[in-house]
Structure 1
């Protein structure tokens, strides 16, 4: 039994070594605070992924990020799907009504690199839904400022 536990521990360490991570010079706590202050709400999801689509950072719970919402082009989608479709592409943003007085705002695009910083090849998606949801363009602008504050 101890040998089995040792093998499981080695496998877990090996898998975590391969998992995608934020760049070393980006402060995760500062990122969490900056995004929370700029677009934070219980109805907001922000995901940052590497060029292969592996999540390196997530703001918002699993349920918030996996909800199906209007894509604003007649379909329903979720944050993961929008993120994968936006990998390596120019920024896009959109907004539309959902139900009642609610709206949804989407923003997806490359995480900007600050002056003097190397390109990171990271992509983000953000979605916000509710009565006070920000429009997609406003989400994009606020997130890009938050990324710079965190050290990107």
Structure 2
């Protein structure tokens, strides 16, 4: 994520111009995809989403990146009741030897001036995608190219 953020905006975790927020404040040994449904519900309860809302509403973010389908859905729909966003299918074809591979990523985009009725200091771009890039780093360039067009 550091490279993606730095390449698209010049921001960095290292100098404090970028930060990482999770949909849950609780650390887990397993990745989200390996958690059972009851475990997911236990760590994304009302207080967890309230904390995330507070963090987003009290800071001045220019861009919020949502890494993965679940993060995008929870942030947009459950946390901030955003349903009116653009969806785009990103595609690239790569050829290795004689074999073609088609990569597809679904992207989500909305620019907001307010969240949950609270006016923001500046317009905020919210950009998400359905791939978890740590698992599919081959799609980072595709996602980065799309974000640069927004």
Q: TM-score, normalised by structure 2?
A: 0.26
Q: Which has the higher contact order (CA 8 A, sep 6+)?
A: 1
Higher strand share: 2
Larger radius of gyration: 1
What is the TM-score when the length of structure 1 is the normalising length? 0.26
